[in-house]
Every structure is written in structure tokens, then in C-alpha cells.
Structure 1
Amino acid sequence: MDLGFPWWLRVEHFLNIIFISFLVRSGLEILSTYPKLYRSQHTVPGRSWAQFTVQKEPKHKFYTVGGEYSDYSPRIALPGRGLLGLGRYWHFITVTGFVTCWVTYFILLLVTGQWRRYVPTSWDVFPQAWQDMLSYLAFTMPHPVEGMVFNALQQLSYGFIILVLTPLVILTGAFQSPAIANHFSRITRLLGGRQVIRSAHFLCLVGYLAFFAIHVVLVFLHGYLHETSKMVLGHSDNPVLGGTIFTVGLMLLVVLHVVATRWTLADGRAVEKLHNRIVRPWSNLLYKLPARMHYDRSNITGKPVGLDNTTQNFRGSGRPPETEEYFALMANGYEDDYVLEIGGYVEHPMTLTVAELRELAAGHSQTTLHHCVQGFTSIGRWRGIRLSELLDLAGPLPGATDVVYTSFQNMGRDDVLYEGGSYYESTPMVEARMPQTLIAFELNDEGEIPAKNGGPVRLRLETSTGFRSLKWLERIEVVNRYDIILEGRGGYFEDTDFFDRNQLI
């Protein structure tokens, strides 16, 4: 069998250069907004195993995790400048192409028999790979394996990248999706938990960069024109032509990155539209994966962790409302004064106190993993009532499609990191009725939810990223259109920043 360079392999090779380079740069943008890696789900401050920032965590009792952003340069990250939402858009756009490309490549390897170029058929390849490495270290070129276009070391390294590292990066990327990680929570725990998965994903990035650096060196050692001609023309009979075409292609790739970065910084909403066309069709399928987590009291954040039994309460993000009304609720312990309003497009508008919510909840609780959009995690035991039960009591009218949640928090007044505006969120009815969508009033059996975590009552959306689990809940309103509210994108950060309402990934 000819194990040369068929046209489809050459096309896939160039597409992968594009996809991996965009994944690396957009991945660095995502990392920059929470540039710390942990082994523990509890992300205890000061316990990270790696950190890529000189910033220190604020000491104030109430602070927003957005204050930990490190603004990586647009020369490195896509798009740079701490624009997490746009970085996520590019990452998921590129993931769509990258996974499609890899699956297609894998199938073609199987059906054409080209898998033999990467999979050893003899144990002799392994000692020969060691000899090939020694040859490289001695600045001599090892010979290809008989009947192959690669030497043994190249065969093993290419096989590892394509058949091991790439599936691993796809798997660890997928299990950073709240919908996937919380639906398949046993697998999440088997993989070591969300933070181990996040760290493994980062190490995959390091693996790609290391491979790329070594690969480039080897291309030059073997002869740049000779090797690049194979990947353009399928042979090395005309190395000048092949090498020139490949070099021009690399130059165009650089231009593509410059254009993408500048376009993104100039018109983020256009990138958002591109994302919605490419990503939403498949990401919306994740609504079919309701959360069904398997954690218990022994897992919750706040229990002793580590060798020194360090404890860390469920992490908060954001500053509580600073109004006389909210301060009065805190002073009086919430129970008698707080009222949750439920209205809008319903048959039976109602108001409920915390005591009435407790009675309706009948002791229901769930222990779940919180996924911050930036990357931190905490496990909390939430007591509350399923939102679907409240909706059944209120009776949504025919045509009701969405649920809107408003908070006591006003961002400009309460959090100096952001511009003004009342904090709100919305969900499609399918998300509102998921079994672990909760209206919570107690955290970790403490009797109430602390102010920093959204007390007295907050929303829990366990298949979505954390900022959509609205804190300091004031009102629930059923609507038949969410796109006519304020900027029409479905939430505060969706309106003012570049975050998709669909936060299942």
C-alpha cells in the first residue's frame, strides 16, 4: 500500500494548522481571565499548582472574580484585552471545524488503510524510535521504516498527536461544558473532577506547542523545501514550487490571524453572529442533557481539604446590593420581610416569603458543582424548590416561551467594575423546567444563603455557567418574548458584553 501523501491528507494538514493556531490563541484568551490551575474542585485561594499572572486575589470580603482578569496582548491571545466572551466565541467556532476535521480524518484513515502510517504493526518500532532519537541528538538523519514515509520516532510521535492527544483534548474540552460535566457527573469525577480536567486541557495545549516546536525543527533538519513540498504536492519532485506555495500559505495564515483579531476588536457583534450561526445549532442539542449530579455532603466546599485541612467556603463573586431595602432585609433575617414575586404571562401571579418557599420545597435539596464562566468551581448543597413546581403553581399561559429573572443588584451602583443597569437573566422554558433548575434559599445546611452567595434567594442553573445563576433574586416573570427586553439578548452580560444566552458550553 502506498503510504504517501494523498490529497485529503494534505488538505487536512493545512486545515489543522489553521484550527490549532486559532484554538491556541483563543484558549489563551480564556485562560487569561482566570489564569490559575487547581487540582481541587474547591479552587482554594493560594492552592493553585500553576499561575500565569502577577495579580493577587482581592482581600475584600465581597469582590468580583472579574477583577482577576489578566489582559493578555492581542499579539498572543484572540482577541486579547480580557474579552472572555469573544475568546469563547472563537474557541467554539474553531472547535466546530477542528472536531469535524479530526473525525473526517480518522474515518478516512480507517477506510483507506492509511492508519498504518501512525499505528505500529511491530514491537520493533519502539527500540528503533529510541535509536532514531539518538541519531537526531547526534545531528544525523535516521532512515524511514521500510515501506513507510516516516522513521520510527516520527511514526510514534505523529500517531500520539493524532490518535491520543487530539481525542484527549476533545474529551477534556467537552467535559468543561457545564451541561456535559453535570449530566455525566460520574465520568467527570472519574476523570479527576472539573479542575483536573481543566489542567489536563491546558497540558494538551502545552503538548501541541511542544510538538509544533520540535516538528518545525525537524522539518528544517530534513530539508524545508523537501518536506513542505510533500505536504503541498504529495511528492518532493519539485521542492522549490512546493516550498514556495507552503510558505505563502503560512504568510496567509498570519494575515488571517491579524484580520480576525482586528475585526473582533472592532466589531464583536459580527463575531457573535458568526458564532450563533455555526455553534448554536449543535450547542442547543445540549438542552437534552439535564443535570443529574452525584455529590453528597462529604464533597461540599467548606469541608476540610488538603493535608493541612484548609477550609474554603463556597466562593462568591460580585458585590451584594447596596440599598436600604436590601440592608433592612439582611438586618431582619429575610424570613419575615422578603417576598419573591412571580408574575407576567401566567394565570396565577403570586408572592412567596422564604417561609412559604420552605414549606413548598418540603426539604428538597441538591448537591451540585458550580461552573464559573472564568474557570473556578465550588460544590454546594442547595436547599430550595424546583422552578418547574413554581411554574406549575403559577400556570404559564399558552404561548409562554421564556422566564426572566431580575435581581436586587444594580451593577453600576454595586460593582464598580461594570456599567450601570439592573442585573437580570432569562432562560428558555426548557431550561427553566429542567429538574435541577432551582430557586434556592439555603446553602450547605447553614440555614440561609450568605449575602456574598446571593441570599436570601437565588437561582441555580446547573447546566449553565455561573453568572447565569442569578443572585439576590427579586422577581420571576414568565414572558412570550425575551428579545424585546433592553438590548434583547437575554441577560445583563449578554447585553453589555459578549456572552451567549446559551451557556451550556
Structure 2
Amino acid sequence: MDEIAAPISPPTKRVYRHRLPTRIWHWLNAVTLLILLMSGLMIFNAHPRLYWGQYGANADHAWFAIGSTPQTGFVRIGETRIETTGVLGRWTDTKGVEQTWAFPGWATIPTTYSLADGRRWHLFFAWVLSIALTLYMLWALLGGHLAKDLHIRRGEWSPRHIWQDIKDHARLRFPRGEAAARYNILQKFSYIGVIFVLLPLMILTGLTMSPGFNATVPWLLDLFGGRQSARSVHFIAAWALVLFFLVHIVMVLLAGPVNEIRSMVTGWFRLPPERDAAP
């Protein structure tokens, strides 16, 4: 009786997916944004209230606040108040001492309250972010990355195409074969939004909060509607970046962390076989 040959798996194809500037900027950004977030939370602890307009102080109505009562911690958004005892507003430090700073020490740089040190960390890495972003944007434009990888083509603007990509992501049906070598439409929207909207917005609102810079570029105050509005936009944009980061990590884990991380370290990505060709 003839033996039945076992199906042969198709050879795995490798593609050079991420060029060196993208990989360097990716990992530099990961460290930089983490430090900026944690030092920013320390700065926020100095006055954990947000306002709209030119001015804002303790006596003014804040649209967002993290605070405490003698017994509880809370977050207030508009008129909605949420108890956050033990997490935000009122929490216990590693020595068992109850603290009433907005964000706990494990989430801030430095871990103990120091507005001066928080500002030093924040301002230094803000320069790192600004310079790196400027260089990366120039490279993306002049080096062809924007046109080759991030350009949204006519067919991708189709509502049907976008909706199909949303459904595929919801069903965890990730691209396979040659399609996996390219950014899908949701990735393009996300990366363009981060590179050309959120990060520049963070930098511009940060500059708007600087009284010294206001003297040089006063129109930024008008653009954002005042220093307090700029601070609110800065805070919102920061948490939008955190949301992007969390979704990004989840997608990497679901799509195959070894292959995804290896490609961002070496540049080389193994294409998953097509579904109809998979063994």
C-alpha cells in the first residue's frame, strides 16, 4: 500500500519590514514617552486640577480634578465624581504611610514628591522627543517612508475597506502572506495620528505652558485658547498616547510577539503563511 505523503509546509518568507531609522525611533520613543509620562504625572501632582481658558487656580471651577477627603480619594470629571481610594487621590506608600497626592509614587518620576526634579526630567526628555520627532519626520518625508509605507491609497479610503479591517481586527484575523508585510489602514491611521497629530500637539501645548516661550511666540496662547486650555489639551493628548500604547502592546501580543518584536529589533519579519496554504 502506498504511503500517503504528509503535507509539506510552505517555506517561510522573510521580508525587511522596518528600516533602521524606524527601529531606532521606535525604541527611543518607548523610553522617552514613558519617562515623560511619569515625570509629567509628578508635575501634575503639584496641582491636580485642569481648567479651560487663560487662568485656573484653586478657587476656579476645574473640569477635571483628582483629590481627597479625610477618608477617600476621588476623580471628578465635570460634575461626575468617582471614588478612587487606594489608587488615586488617597493611597498608601511602600512604608505604609497614607498619602494624598493625585498619582502614587510608583507611577511618577521621582517616586517621592519633588516638583523641581520632575520638571528637570520632563524638560530634558521633552527635548529628546522634539529633536527625535523632527529628524524622523524629515526622514519619513525625504526617505520615502511616508510615501511607501504610510500613504493611504485611494482604495483604502473606501468605507467598505475600512469597515472590513475593523471587523478583521475585532475577530483577531490578522493579515497573512504578502499583506502582512504592509501596514493596514487602521495602522496607517494610528501611526499618522501619533506622528503628525498627537506628538506635535504634545510639544506645542508644552511650549504654550512656558511663560518664557510665550514672549517669543505669543500666538500659541491664542491658538490653544490660553495656558490652562493648553495644559488640558496636553493632559488629554498624553492619555491618548497611553491608550495607543496599550492597544499597540495588545495587538503585538495577539499577532505573535516573537515575530513582531524581532522585526522591530532586526528589521526582518517572517510572513505568516496564507490561510489556504497553511498546513
| SS of 1:53 mapped into structure 2 | strand
Instruction: Provide closer, same or farther for how the CA distance between residues 144 and 87 of structure 1 changes in structure 2, counting only shifts above 3 A.
Output: farther
Structure 1 residue 137 corresponds to structure 2 residue 184: no
Following superposition, the deviation at residue 159 of structure 1 comes to 1.3
**Cα offset for 1:146?**
5.8
Tell whether 2:187 aligns with 1:154: yes
**One-letter code of the match for 1:21?**
L
**Is 1:12 equivalent to 2:43 in the alignment?**
no
Which of 53, 56, 61 aligns to 1:47? It is: 61
Q: Alpha carbons of 1:42 and 1:170: their partners in 2 closer, same or farther (altered >3 Å)?
A: closer
Kindly state the Cα deviation for residue 109 of structure 1 after the two structures are TM-superposed. 0.8
Which of 156, 160, 163 pairs up with 1:124? Answer: 156
CA contact (8 A) 1:36 1:50 kept: yes
- Give the AA of the match of 2:56: T
Structure-2 residue corresponding to 1:201: 234
TM-score (norm 2): 0.73
Q: How does 1:28-177 map to 2 (within 5 A)?
A: 28-43=41-56, 45=59, 47-54=61-68, 70=101, 72-116=103-147, 117-122=149-154, 124-125=156-157, 127=159, 128-142=161-175, 149-177=182-210
Q: For structure 1, list consecutive stretches of 5 or more residues without a partner in the other structure.
A: 57-68, 240-505
- Offset at 1:71? 6.5
The CA distance in 2 between the partners of 1:144 and 1:156, in whole Å, is 22
Instruction: Please name the residue that 2:37 is paired with.
Output: 24
8 Å contact 2:202–2:234 — kept in the other structure?
Answer: yes
Report how far residue 110 of structure 1 moved: 1.4
Measure the CA separation in 2 of the matches of 1:144 and 1:82.
51
| Partner SS, residue 39 of structure 1 | coil
1:144–1:156 Cα change, 3 Å: farther
Q: How far 1:104 moved relative to its partner?
A: 1.2
Paired letter, 1:171: L
| Amino acid of the structure 2 residue aligned with 1:213 | L
Long gaps (5+) in structure 2 = 1-14, 71-99, 273-279
Partner of 2:223: 190
User: 1:192 and 1:215, CA in 2 relative to 1: closer, same or farther beyond 3 A?
Assistant: same
CA shift digits 1:414-440 (9 cap, x unpaired): xxxxxxxxxxxxxxxxxxxxxxxxxxx
Whose Rg is larger? 1
- For the residue of structure 2 that corresponds to 1:201, the secondary structure is helix
1:189–1:115 distance in 2 versus 1, CA, 3 Å = same
- C-alpha distance after superposition, 1:154-202 (max 9, x if no partner): 1111111111111111111111110122443343123211111000000
Q: Distance in 2 between matches of 1:204 and 1:197?
A: 10
Letter in 1 for 2:154: S
Contact 2:48–2:102, Cα closer than 8 Å, also in 1 = no
**Matches of 1:231 and 1:126, distance apart in 2:** 30
The alignment-based identity, stated in percent, is: 29
Letter of the aligned partner of 1:120 in structure 2?
Answer: I
Taking the aligned partners of 1:165 and 1:119, their CA distance within structure 2 comes to: 18
Q: Distance in 1 between matches of 2:266 and 2:130?
A: 25
Displaced runs of 4+ in structure 1, greater than 4 A?
Answer: 142-148
Give yes or no for contact 2:55–2:226 (8 Å, CA) kept in 1.
Answer: no
SS of equivalent to 2:107? coil
Matched to 1:79, the amino acid is P
Change (3 A) 1:153 1:3: farther
Q: Tell me how far apart the structure 2 counterparts of residues 144 and 164 of structure 1 sit (CA, whole Å).
A: 31
Aligned-residue offset at 1:4: 2.5
Q: Relative to 1, partners in 2 of residues 1:238 and 1:79: Cα closer, same or farther, differing over 3 Å?
A: farther
Q: CA RMSD in A?
A: 2.6
Contact 2:54 2:225 in 1 (8 A): no
Question: For the residues of structure 2 that align with 1:227 and 1:195, how far apart are their CA atoms?
Answer: 40
In 2, the alpha carbon distance for the partners of 1:119 and 1:92 equals: 33
